[in-house]
Amino acid sequence: MTSTEHTSTPDSATRPIELGFALVDERELAAFARHERVTRDDYLDQLGEARDCVTLPDDAEPTHFFLGSEFCEHLLPSVESIDRAVALCERWGLTFGLVTPIACDGLFDPLRAALARLPAGCEVTINDWGVARLVQREFPALRPVAGRLLGKMLKDPRLPSATWARMYPNGLRAGPFRDILDGLGIGRLELDFPPFGAADMYAGIDFPVGVRAPYGYIAKGRICKLGSLSLDTPEKFSPGHQCRRECLGFNEVGARPGTHELHTSQRGNTMYYRHAQGMATAVAEAVNNGWVSRIVLSGA
Amino acid sequence: MRITAPISAPAEVEPLVRAGARELYCGVVPPDWIQRFNTSGVNRRVFGNLNGYADLERVVDKATALDAEVFLVLNAQQYGEQHLDALTEIGARFRGIGGKAAIVADISLIASLAANVPDLDIHVSSVATCRNVESARFFAALGAKRIILPRDVTVAEIAAITQALPELDVEAFVLNDGCVFEEGACHTVHLPMNKGGPICIDNYQFEYQATGGDKPQARALRRLEQNDLDYKRWLWYRFGNGFSVAPNWFPWGPCGLCAMPAMHAAGVHSVKIAGREGASERKIKSVELVARVLERIAAGEAEHAVREFAVGLRDSPSHCASGYMCYYPEVRSRQATGDAEGKLLTAV
């Protein structure tokens, strides 16, 4: 593996925070297209009532716009939508990023077609080591970012205390992890802020860190309950089937009875927790200290 | 094709090998680990581990005498950087007593073991979610000798990897213990049952919302609720048919027996039986079950005959017919629909 240059997180303390919005449903691009330029309020409005779970610095204004899913092979945007999003970002003066999931082999050709639409300098959020190789070898002009599926950490909202969380530390500071990302040309990490997380938990990491807010993901499957809605009974809940993207129309919200845990939901194959106010405050503190240099807003 | 079986005690080695397992995998919690790191999390399971190095050595000695290989699980989803040296030492010690391979998911640990214990084979754990050719190439470049595929892949996807990378051994699940989420993308712990157990069967009370926050229309809600009932039934199968066994004591639960001929044809090196935490009798019956199918394959029986034999082994074909007990349900579907080439399977 060869080393590449990357900017460490503390350097970013002197720069304004980067702010992105990540859109999964390509049909919603139409609503964004009405804006001649986008503001932080345009981004926050997309979150509905969950906007109260985000604390942004006063100078945070949009710098990035992302399209695509981290969690599902069936939600790769069409090349037409990618073209449209790229054009919107050019109009808005923002950096565009394509978000990609863990991939089966059948996804690689559509991915190649999608990546080929991206101008040099666009970001690719990567959640699969094979996709990382693909981007490095075939699309070296793009800027790969390690997505939150590659930044492993415990995120169980049911943990009784912080002590439990400390039993399973993350490996984001491990030398080999850094070397492998360097070797793949990955220069940035996108992470969740976990339950019981501390503001300084990303201090000292050798890569610029972005945090998704206000939803973190808990677990994701390849089997999708909602994606099986239109399948015949014996065919449901198995890999390798088409779906009708039912997850874009419905989600599930709820809790464990008798608890006061984080607001929890499930959309398609993925479970999410929503940041509590204290977590939003901790993320803001991390931003103020330069430990987090980007916030990527996204729904659940 | 070999059978890879779980063990959690030296006494299990001989009956499992006699039953047909040629590869055994186990975990160990070294005595100083808990003191040093204040956690028992050496691998993915808190329970089902050997008691210490002495037991590990006994396991390796017994297995070697019976011409079987032993693999050590160091397969936590992630480790802190403070753990890497200690884990690498465990790997070196295991190799020193005759262990064959470490089963690893964390890429930092893979790199560390490859650099520091080069004689120890590296098997990429299913927890690493390696399920495409390019990803397999990535792990091979890090030093992997084998890829253990995650659950919920198709036989066609397995074949794509075995054909593209014949130098890599591929291992695939065949029996027991189905996760609902992808292991490598499930960032939870299996809590004690009185605190909720695994999150996928915890008592969450969810309500459906249409996008925008409204309640779904009545017709849509009825369909969603019917789908939920099907899902609960699938969960029952996913968790070992309610953690039960067949009348002839063969285990229920996620199963790929009738896909074994196709896996064999695809070049799968080993089939994996899950369940380190299970009872010894369950492990032994599991190996017997898989071995009986493997014997038919080795004897050159036709694929359809092996499938029929596999379906009849537990003497309750209705569970197989449900389609919900299958690791590779497309094999059953292809038979039912006459889609011999798997054309209905479009991965994307």
**pLDDT tens digits, residue range A240-281?**
888 999 999 999 999 999 999 999 999 999 999 999 999 999
Strand extents, DSSP E, chain A:
18-23, 61-68, 95-99, 123-126, 143-146, 189-191, 209-213, 215-220, 250-255, 264-267, 270-274, 294-298
- Domain extents in chain B: 2-178+239-337, 193-237
**pLDDT-wise least confident of A10-24, A74-88, A108-122, B40-54:** A10-24
B323 contact A CB<8A: yes
Roughly how many angstroms between the first and final C-alpha of chain B, as a whole number? 29
Measured between alpha carbons, how far is A273 from A212 in angstroms, rounded to an integer? 12
Measured between alpha carbons, how far is B115 from A263 in angstroms, rounded to an integer? 44
B193 contact A CB<8A: no
* Among the listed residues B105, B165, B160, B117, the one whose alpha carbon sits nearest the alpha carbon of residue B140: B165
Choose, out of A233, A261, A267, A274, the residue to mutate when testing the contact with B (most B CBs < 10 Å).
A233
Cβ contact, residue pair B204, A264, below 8 Å: yes
DSSP annotation of B255: B
Q: Is the pLDDT of residue A19 over 90?
A: yes
- Domain extents in chain A: 18-219+276-298
Residue A294 half-sphere exposure, CB side, CA atoms within 13 Å? 25
Distances (CA, A) of A163 to A185, A218, A258, B202, B282: 35, 18, 22, 21, 34
Distances (CA, A) of A219 to A157, A254, A264: 11, 16, 12
* Among the listed residues B27, B32, B33, B30, the one whose alpha carbon sits nearest the alpha carbon of residue B47: B27
Name every chain B residue with its beta carbon within 8 A of the beta carbon of A71. 185
Q: Output the CA torsion sign for B313, B315, B316, B321.
A: positive
What is the per-residue pLDDT for B348?
43
The vertex-A205 CA angle with A204 and A209, nearest 5°, equals: 120
B229 contact A CB<8A: no
The vertex-A12 CA angle with A10 and A18, nearest 5°, equals: 140
Orientation of helix B133-142 relative to helix B155-164, angle to 10° = 50
Tokens of A78: 């069409």
Name every chain A residue with its beta carbon within 8 A of the beta carbon of B209. 250-253
Cα A221 to its chain centre, rounded Å, is 16
**Residue B339: pLDDT band with limits 50, 70, 90:** very low
What is the per-residue pLDDT for A164?
87
Tokens of B105: 């998911």
What is the per-residue pLDDT for B163?
97
Query: What integer is the mean pLDDT of B235-264?
Result: 93
Measured between alpha carbons, how far is B306 from B301 in angstroms, rounded to an integer? 6
Q: Is the pLDDT of residue A9 over 70?
A: no
Pick the CATH number of B2-178+239-337 from 2.40.40.20, 3.20.20.70, 3.30.450.90, 3.90.1010.10: 3.20.20.70
Name every chain B residue with its beta carbon within 8 A of the beta carbon of A108. 132, 134
Residue keyed to tokens 């005498």: B65
Cβ contact, residue pair A249, B211, below 8 Å: yes
pLDDT tens-digit map of A203-229? 999 999 999 999 999 999 999 999 999
Tokens of A232: 């015949």
What is the per-residue pLDDT for A5?
46
pLDDT tens-digit map of B132-188? 999 999 999 999 999 999 999 999 999 999 999 999 999 999 999 889 999 999 999
Cβ contact, residue pair A257, B203, below 8 Å: yes
Considering chain A, what percentage of its residues have pLDDT values greater than 90?
A: 90
**Residue A100: pLDDT band with limits 50, 70, 90:** very high
**Residue A290: pLDDT band with limits 50, 70, 90:** very high
What is the per-residue pLDDT for A14?
60
**Residue A233: pLDDT band with limits 50, 70, 90:** confident
Mean residue pLDDT of chain A comes to 94
Tokens of A269: 């194959």
H or E segment at B207? strand B205-210
Orientation of helix B133-142 relative to helix B107-116, angle to 10° = 40
Distances (CA, A) of A241 to A228, A267, B173, B178, B346: 9, 18, 20, 19, 6
Pairing state of beta strands A264-267 and A250-255?
antiparallel
**Residue A2: pLDDT band with limits 50, 70, 90:** very low
Measured between alpha carbons, how far is A169 from B66 in angstroms, rounded to an integer? 39
Mean residue pLDDT of chain B comes to 93
Query: What integer is the mean pLDDT of A173-185?
Result: 97
Tokens of B37: 């790191």
Q: Does domain A18-219+276-298 have CATH number 3.20.20?
A: yes
Measured between alpha carbons, how far is A68 from A66 in angstroms, rounded to an integer? 7
What is the per-residue pLDDT for B180?
96
Reported ipTM: 0.94
The vertex-B230 CA angle with B229 and B231, nearest 5°, equals: 90
Give the burial string for B78-112 (b: 16+ CB within 10 Å, else e): bbbbebbebbbebbebbbeeebbbbbbbbbbbbbb
* Among the listed residues A120, A74, A127, A67, the one whose alpha carbon sits nearest the alpha carbon of residue A98: A67
90-109 of B, contacting A, C-beta below 8 A: 106-109
Name every chain A residue with its beta carbon within 8 A of the beta carbon of B259. none
